[in-house]
Every structure is written in C-alpha cells, then in structure tokens.
C-alpha cells in the first residue's frame, strides 16, 4: 500500500453560469447576470489539472452532475413557470447550476491512518444552506460509490441529516507529519456570520467525526470567525488551508485564533503555522484575491508549493507578502499561479475545485484517474460539445437543455462512465 494524496477536481459542467445564487459569496453576487463561458471554464479547469499532473502529483477528477436537474424542477413545481416572475426564474436557475465543479464541497474525507478501521471514510456533504447546492449530494454519492467501490479500503456514509448544514472538506483540514501518517482532523464550523449564513453546523462536523471513527483525542472543533463569514468567507477554505504539518492561515480566520493554534500545537507538536497578518493583507483583500483558496501541495522533491489563483498573484498586497515569504525561510517554498478565472467569478478558486483523498491510487477506480492521454480526450470533448457562452437569461430554454445534456453524455461516453448517465 502506497498512500498518496490524490486531488480529484470537478470537471466544469456545460451549464456553468452566473445566476448569483450564493448569498454570502461576494464573487457570485457581483457577477450575477454576467455571460459565462462554459467551454473556457472547463478548459481552464483541465489546464489546472494538467499543471498539477506535470508537477508529478496524482490527479483524479469527477464528472459533472446531470443538469438541468428535472427532479428538482418537478419537486419545486417549476415545470411551467411564469417567466415574468424573477423568483421563479431564480429557483429554476438552481436546477441548472454547475456548482458540483467545486468538489471541495463534495464530501469530507478521513484517510485510513486516522480512522478506527483503517479505511478511508467519506461522507457526502448535504450542502443544505443553498438550494442549488442541496441537490448535489445524491448524485455525488453515486459517483463516490463508483470511484471508491473497493470496500476493503473505503467506507462511504450517507449525508448527515439536513437540519445540520454540512459543506464537506471546505470546512475540514487534516494535518499530519506526512500524508500517510496518522493525523489530526480539524473541523471548522460557523455559528453566525452577520448578514450572511454560517453554512457549516458544529453538530454536522461532530457527526462526521463520529461516523469516520476518528480518535476523539485527534479531532478538533474550531469556530470560524463570525467577521470572516460576514466579510465573505463563506467556507473556511477561503481563509485557511493546511497540508501535512503546515497550516497557512489569515490571522482573522478563527473566532479564537490563539486558542486554535495552541490546540493544534498541542495535538501535533511538529505543526508549523504560517499566519498572514491583517496589517499585510486585510481580510477583504484575502477574500477578494482568494490567496488562501490555494492548493498547498507537497511536491515530489519534498518542498511545499502553493497553487494560487492569478487574482492573488496580481494583487499588490498579496504579492508583496508572498515575495517576502519566499525570500524567507518558511516551509512554503514555491508559489504557482494558475488561471481559473471563470470559476473564480463564482467564488471558486483552485482549492474549491478539488477534493483531497489520501489513498493508494491502485485502490481507486482507474476511470477517475487522470493521465495526459485522458486529459487530451477530455479537452477534445469539451472543445467539441461545451457551449461557448451562456447568458443567464437563456436558462430554461429547451434548446440549451438539449445541448447541455448531450455535452455531459458525450463526456461520460469518452470516459467510459456511462453508468453515471
């Protein structure tokens, strides 16, 4: 068994659009009504995967979910709507959302070294706070069941009851001396976020920790700072990211930062905490630039690299801080900017687009693992079938629904994933 971190990126679906559905997500709100470019968005996503593959890292992917989702349309009584009613149009737009691309919200994952039975446990996130996201988990669960069908190595749970909001790995950080060593798991929940919803309920986090058979001594439950949620950090991964022994965080990420750092150091003495002070990068700049929505990765030579969005690299305050970090002697040795602008405009940076699973790649269904040849096949399918652009006013049009369904179907065929059709 060779346990490595595999990043599973969500392939951006053909219905990618800007309907402004996520209250508390400033990017989604500010781009509401814009024309989107699904083909470019999906190609940017594949380019990011290829970038990480070229670094020598294991890379997987998940396919887009079926959209428009007729089950949701029917459940909401929206088969024939009053087109003049903006509320009905907005509810219908939820059924068209390509939001499953942000696989950091697909599930919470506890690797085998952390769990009582030594298997990797996965719990799909119920995502109940937002209608357009709450429809994801049953289809996500089907896909996880296919990718991680090997029950000797994986245990899949159902989503936790929907009265407790769960947003998956975006509010969960794992730290360990190495990926394949027993680690500590840090669950970050929200109590309040001012005008914006706190999407992760503490009891959902605690349920996941119990379901996964974590040692209570090695699970931490930390409250997210209400001012971070109020400033637009709708998930913890907008203000903090961890990898192996390193936590990279904004100083205003947690309600009680000193308490959080002390608890982490107590449970993992080798922990290194890299704190970006508000004086260098304000909370607002951190959220605007998505500096922390980065992939903090252990590269094959042992150095850590930070895959950040171009928006962060282009932000003068962030750039100044990163230049200082690289000139110093800290644990993060490389900064690697990538272009995921189409996803960013909906509040999804490099880290949102991936779900981390520590596993032996040989135990994963190979149809979900990426290599160069498959990346080319995916790109060719996207180039051939994805709509070039979508105006949110067109959501609901039957001709667009046909195009979107055919595009996903073509991709599933190309990947031998017809079982998900």
Footprint of ligand SUG (CB under 6 A): 18-22, 25, 28, 97, 99, 102, 104-105, 133, 170, 234-235, 237-238, 346-348, 352
Q: Looking up tokens 């990618």, which residue turns up?
A: 16
The smaller minimum CB distance to ligand SUG, of residues 3 and 94, is found at 94
Beta carbon of residue 98, minimum distance to ligand SUG (angstroms, whole number)? 8
The answer to whether 249 and 292 are in contact (CB under 8 A) is yes
Residue 74 annotated among the catalytic residues of the structure: no
The residue from 5, 121, 136, 167 that is catalytic is 167
- 339's CB contacts (< 8 A; 6+ apart) are 44, 47, 48, 309, 310
The residue from 121, 179, 244, 352 that is catalytic is 352
- 399's CB contacts (< 8 A; 6+ apart) are none
Beta carbon of residue 21, minimum distance to ligand SUG (angstroms, whole number)? 4
Beta carbon of residue 152, minimum distance to ligand SUG (angstroms, whole number)? 30
Task: Kindly list the distances between the CA atom of residue 116 and the CA atoms of 108, 113, 125, 155, 296, in Å, as whole numbers in the listed order.
Answer: 16, 8, 21, 12, 27
The residue from 235, 244, 285, 311 that is catalytic is 235
Beta carbon of residue 231, minimum distance to ligand SUG (angstroms, whole number)? 14
Cis upstream peptide for 68 (omega within 30°): yes
Degrees to nearest 5, angle at CA 190 with 109 and 305 = 50
* Residues forming a β-bridge with 304: 298, 332
Beta carbon of residue 347, minimum distance to ligand SUG (angstroms, whole number)? 4
Q: How far apart are CA 200 and CA 223, in angstroms?
A: 10
Task: Kindly list the distances between the CA atom of residue 261 and the CA atoms of 48, 273, 290, 331, 337, in Å, as whole numbers in the listed order.
Answer: 31, 8, 22, 17, 28
Residue 179 annotated among the catalytic residues of the structure: no
CA-based nearest residue to 130, from 168, 156, 158: 168
The smaller minimum CB distance to ligand SUG, of residues 340 and 417, is found at 340
Residue 352 annotated among the catalytic residues of the structure: yes
Active site residues: 167, 235, 352
């Amino acid at each position: 068994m060779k346990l490595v971190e595999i990043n599973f990126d969500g392939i951006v679906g053909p219905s990618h659009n800007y309907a402004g559905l996520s209250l508390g997500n400033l990017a989604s709100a500010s781009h509401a009504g814009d024309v989107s470019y699904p083909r470019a968005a999906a190609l940017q996503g594949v380019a990011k995967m290829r970038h990480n593959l070229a670094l020598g890292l294991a890379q997987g992917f998940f396919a887009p979910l079926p959209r428009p989702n007729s089950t949701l349309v029917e459940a909401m009584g929206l088969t024939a709507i009053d087109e003049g009613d903006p509320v009905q149009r907005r509810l219908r737009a939820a059924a068209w959302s390509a939001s499953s691309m942000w696989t950091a919200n697909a599930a919470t994952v506890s690797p085998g070294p952390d769990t009582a039975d030594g298997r990797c446990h996965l719990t799909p996130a119920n995502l109940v706070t937002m209608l357009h996201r709450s429809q994801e988990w049953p289809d996500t669960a089907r896909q996880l069941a296919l990718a991680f069908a090997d029950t000797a190595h994986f245990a899949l749970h159902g989503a936790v009851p929907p009265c407790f909001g769960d947003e998956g790995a975006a509010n969960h950080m794992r730290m360990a001396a190495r990926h394949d060593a027993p680690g500590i798991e840090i669950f970050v929940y929200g109590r309040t976020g001012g005008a914006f919803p706190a999407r992760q309920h503490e009891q959902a986090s605690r349920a996941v920790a119990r379901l996964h058979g974590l040692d209570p001594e090695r699970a931490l439950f930390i409250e997210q700072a209400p001012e971070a949620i109020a400033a637009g950090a709708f998930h913890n991964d907008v203000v903090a990211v961890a990898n192996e022994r390193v936590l990279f965080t904004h100083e205003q990420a947690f309600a009680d930062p000193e308490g959080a750092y002390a608890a982490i150091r107590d449970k993992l003495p080798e922990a290194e905490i890299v704190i970006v002070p508000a004086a260098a990068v304000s909370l607002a700049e951190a959220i605007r630039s998505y500096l922390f929505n980065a992939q903090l990765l252990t590269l094959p030579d042992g150095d850590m690299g930070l895959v950040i969005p171009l928006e962060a690299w282009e932000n003068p305050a962030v750039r100044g801080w990163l230049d200082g970090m690289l000139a110093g002697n800290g644990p993060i040795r490389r900064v690697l900017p990538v272009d995921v602008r189409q996803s960013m405009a909906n509040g999804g940076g490099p880290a949102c687009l991936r779900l981390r699973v520590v596993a032996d790649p040989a135990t994963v269904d190979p149809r979900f693992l990426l290599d160069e040849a498959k990346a080319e096949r995916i790109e060719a399918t996207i180039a051939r079938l994805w709509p070039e652009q979508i105006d949110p006013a067109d959501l609901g049009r039957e001709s667009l629904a046909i195009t979107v369904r055919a595009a996903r179907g073509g991709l599933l065929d190309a990947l031998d994933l017809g079982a998900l059709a």
